[in-house]
């Protein structure tokens, strides 16, 4: 007899402790054997997730509590990965909404919660990090209720259950007065408030593909919830594609979830979340069904991309020196492969230039993660400045708007409001968040945020925190002049010398250090003036019979500005490109006079 099932998603804003809370649930459910080495944030499976401390890909795990199988789906907290969120919410009957007791609901909380309410889910609110300084759990609950009402939640959804917790300390409790011991109150809340999955095991099989995975031994693996019927390893089944075509195949392997492991199953019935192999061409949203009575489930609707940039083959003088995968075919194949699992991404080939691809995504972070992943895999390519995607709605040209929340020191509030005002932002709310800081909320055109992070960090002396998520499309706000000084450009190929960089220090700030290889047209720094300036940074000090080149005092250079991938994407202008290789990130001009000859 199969176990009773509960399917829950865990949704939250970035850094509100979602993955840490899942760690505590796994540890206290007995998912790990005694003495097993356990790393923190076990659900963050790839290097990028661990480095950045964010969830990028939705993941499945399962725990057993009181003879009930609880399938848990850890979802991304960033709106740029909303494609992941929208897919997995269709698999669950309930969700845990994690909110920081100090910060309260943040932009991505709003984004993911809106998706959950639209699905008709009744979230269990978990006020996390109650042991933090300046934490005010009851105020956080009030803010969550305000957000529910603002998003149009019905009376039943507004009467949400809530739990106080600390994922790091590993406890949950129903009231602040009682002592926190373990996660039992949260487990009990899931059993009590999350309804069992609806589905009839006697009906024909219907399993909707929500996540794709790959194994060298099994090939493509599809993960999804069984909406109706029973699935058995080795049985014949049919795949109904998006265009309505039907392909028959055999279920070669059926897997379930137990802790972080996948376990082989012989059979499973309606309500469970399983992984299936045997359908090499299955895609997100398609239905695996009974071949005798094929019935398709509604396709999953994912919000369209809002930002686009051009990927093109690297044509710089240094092409092929650091990366192995540099050809048009290799870049095209990699982008097409990404489309199979990244449902929020769009790729279009340029008919006039076969080595250029228009890649559209949900935001700079969404596209930045793709670029970083590709360069780590050995690809070498170039990208242009991100551009917003306009739409025509009711005959009017519209652009994407973002909800922006900034947390800044009080002495930086005026400067931030002024800078955002120049970018057509409108302030919606302002609150004192404690500790000499203020929290401000704005609505701002998405193009107004391109290149804003560097300006924001300067205005707050590095002490500001900014988060934003897609809001909606609104009429175009008008011209936005993102003021930026000109750039310093190398006008010859060679190696930058300490002597030349020291002599040019009064021209601006540099992005390179002595010993860096440069080429004609490469951007090496930012000018102090509005116009671009070409420099020779490869010139060395001449030897004479009167003095030696190293006879002077040791040269003291200003520290160069480190250009990370995200910072470089925000910095480049419309006539500039970013050269991305496994070892380097270089900014360059795309002007013809600097093109490779």
Binding-site residue positions = 15-20, 128-131
Backbone angles phi, psi at 252, to 5 degrees: -80, -25
Backbone angles phi, psi at 52, to 5 degrees: -90, -15
Q: Are 275 and 266 in contact (CB under 8 A)?
A: no
Instruction: Spell out the residues 6+ positions from residue 318 whose beta carbon is closer than 8 angstroms to its own.
Output: 517, 519, 579, 581, 586
Instruction: Spell out the residues 6+ positions from residue 244 whose beta carbon is closer than 8 angstroms to its own.
Output: 296
Rounded-to-integer distance, Cα 390 and Cα 474, Å: 10
Instruction: Spell out the residues 6+ positions from residue 177 whose beta carbon is closer than 8 angstroms to its own.
Output: none
Query: Measuring CA to CA, which residue among 96, 99, 81 is closest to residue 7?
Result: 96
Residue 88 CB neighbour total at 10 angstroms: 27
Binding residues for GTP: 15-20, 128-131
Query: Measuring CA to CA, which residue among 484, 489, 510 is closest to residue 591?
Result: 489
- For 579, counting Cβ atoms within 10 Å of its Cβ (0-12 exposed, 13-18 middle, 19+ buried), the class is buried
Query: Measuring CA to CA, which residue among 418, 340, 326, 420 is closest to residue 378?
Result: 326
Q: Is 300 helix (H, G, I), strand (E, B) or coil?
A: coil
Query: Measuring CA to CA, which residue among 4, 1, 2, 17 is closest to residue 190?
Result: 4
Residue 49 CB neighbour total at 10 angstroms: 19
What DSSP string runs through 447-497? HHHTTHHHHHHHHTTT--EEEEEEEEEEE-----------EEEE-S-EE--
Rounded-to-integer distance, Cα 306 and Cα 299, Å: 21
Q: Is 337 helix (H, G, I), strand (E, B) or coil?
A: helix
Q: Are 2 and 267 in contact (CB under 8 A)?
A: no
Rounded-to-integer distance, Cα 470 and Cα 309, Å: 18
Rounded-to-integer distance, Cα 114 and Cα 118, Å: 6
Strands (E), 117-192: 124-128, 162-166, 171-173
Backbone angles phi, psi at 190, to 5 degrees: -65, -45
Q: Are 535 and 505 in contact (CB under 8 A)?
A: no
Q: Are 209 and 282 in contact (CB under 8 A)?
A: yes
């Amino acid at each position: 007899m199969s176990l009773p099932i509960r399917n829950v998603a865990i949704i939250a804003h970035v850094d509100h402790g979602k993955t840490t809370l899942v760690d505590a649930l796994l540890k206290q459910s007995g998912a790990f054997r005694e003495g097993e080495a356990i790393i923190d944030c076990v659900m963050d499976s790839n290097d990028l997730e661990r480095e950045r401390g964010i969830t990028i890909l939705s993941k499945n795990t399962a725990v057993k509590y009181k003879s009930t199988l609880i399938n848990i789906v850890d979802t991304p907290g960033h709106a740029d990965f909303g494609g992941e969120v929208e897919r997995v919410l269709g698999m669950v009957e309930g969700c845990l909404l994690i909110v920081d007791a100090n910060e309260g609901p943040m932009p991505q909380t709003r984004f993911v919660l809106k998706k959950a309410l639209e699905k008709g889910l009744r979230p269990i609110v978990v006020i996390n990090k109650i042991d933090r300084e300046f934490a005010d759990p009851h105020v956080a609950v009030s803010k969550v209720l305000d957000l529910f009402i603002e998003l149009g939640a019905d009376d039943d959804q507004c009467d949400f259950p809530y739990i106080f917790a600390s994922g790091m300390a590993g406890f949950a409790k129903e009231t602040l007065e009682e002592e926190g011991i373990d996660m039992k109150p949260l487990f009990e809340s899931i059993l009590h408030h999350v309804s069992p999955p609806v589905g009839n095991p006697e009906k024909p099989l219907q399993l909707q593909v929500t996540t794709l995975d790959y194994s060298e031994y099994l090939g493509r693996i599809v993960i999804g919830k069984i909406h109706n019927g029973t699935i058995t390893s080795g049985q014949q089944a049919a795949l109904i594609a998006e265009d309505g075509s039907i392909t028959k195949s055999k279920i070669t392997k059926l897997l379930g979830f137990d802790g972080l492991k996948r376990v082989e199953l012989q059979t499973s019935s309606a309500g469970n979340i399983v992984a299936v192999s045997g359908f090499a061409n299955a895609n997100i949203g398609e239905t695996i069904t009974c071949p005798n009575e094929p019935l398709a489930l509604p396709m999953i609707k994912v919000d369209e991309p809002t930002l686009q940039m051009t990927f093109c083959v690297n044509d710089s003088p240094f092409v092929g020196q650091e990366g192995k995968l540099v050809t048009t075919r290799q870049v095209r194949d990699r982008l097409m492969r990404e489309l199979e699992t990244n449902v929020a991404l769009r790729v279009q080939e340029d008919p006039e230039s076969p080595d250029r691809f228009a890649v559209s995504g949900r935001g700079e972070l969404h596209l930045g993660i793709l670029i970083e992943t590709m360069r780590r895999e050995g690809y070498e390519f170039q990208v242009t400045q991100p551009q917003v995607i306009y739409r025509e709605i009711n005959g009017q040209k519209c652009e994407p708007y973002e909800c922006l929340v900034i947390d800044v020191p009080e002495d930086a509030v005026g400067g931030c409001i002024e800078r955002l005002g120049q970018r057509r932002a409108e302030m919606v709310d302002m609150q004192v968040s404690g500790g000499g800081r203020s929290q401000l909320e704005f609505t701002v055109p998405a193009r107004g945020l391109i290149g804003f992070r560097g300006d924001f960090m300067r205005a707050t002396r590095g002490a500001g925190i900014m988060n934003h998520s897609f809001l909606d499309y609104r009429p175009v706000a008008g011209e936005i002049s993102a003021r930026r000084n000109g750039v310093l450009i190398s006008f010859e190929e060679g190696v930058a010398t300490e002597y030349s960089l020291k002599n040019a220090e009064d021209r601006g700030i540099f992005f390179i250090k002595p010993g860096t290889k440069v080429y004609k047209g490469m951007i090496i720094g930012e000018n102090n003036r509005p116009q671009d300036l070409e420099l020779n940074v490869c010139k060395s000090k001449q030897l004479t019979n009167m003095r030696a080149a190293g006879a002077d005092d040791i040269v003291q250079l200003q520290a160069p500005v480190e250009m990370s991938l995200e910072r470089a994407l925000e910095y480049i202008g419309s006539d500039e490109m970013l050269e991305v290789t496994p070892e380097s990130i270089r900014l360059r001009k795309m002007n013809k006079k600097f093109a490779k000859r």
